[in-house]
Amino acid sequence: MQRYTHPFPPFIDEDSQLLILGSFPSIKSFEENFYYAHPKNQFWRLLSGVFDEKTPATIEEKKAFLQKHHIALWDVISSCKRQNSLDSNLKDIQPNDIEKLLQEFPNIQKIYFTSKTAQKIYEKNFLHVKLPTSYLVSPSPAYAVMNFEQKLEKWKEVL
């Protein structure tokens, strides 16, 4: 198993109010150098569905969309060993310093997780952080318990 380090910084600015945390970038996200890059991942479709807007396609469109809605993105894992993009294969996990990020960007009001793995790692390492948290149903194509429309309804309820 090879060790990987998170390839890009958090996407956040002074106006960010919501922080969405995933676990660790997929192999496709490594290649594209931005969050949720796998074409079958439903993250961008779900997020645009919540705000009833056109799904951003390019990295620049995605960044503009996030800034417009005051959303920050990062992952809970700084480095790990893995063989593929599945959360179940993540081993020897080192968390990102989420507490430091929140100190640097104090306008964050709530944290959301796009995987149960992300939520568990956060709760293990940052439970003392006093911000409300919520789980968003996984946008991963591997999470096939719900179809897109069902996921979108859950995201609208939570966000």
Residues noted as catalytic = 41
Cα distance between residue 149 and residue 49, in whole Å: 10
Q: Which amino acid is at 134?
A: S
Going by C-beta distance under 8 Å and a sequence separation of 6 or more, which residues neighbour residue 89?
82, 83
Q: Is the distance from CB of 155 to CB of 56 less than 8 angstroms?
A: no
Question: What's the rounded Cα separation, in Å, for the pair 159 and 154?
Answer: 9
Judged on CB neighbours under 10 Å (0-12, 13-18, 19+), 151 is buried
Instruction: Give me the phi and psi of 139, to 5 degrees please.
Output: -85, 0
Quickly count: other Cβ atoms within 10 Å of residue 78's Cβ.
15
Q: Which residue has the tokens 């960010």?
A: 16
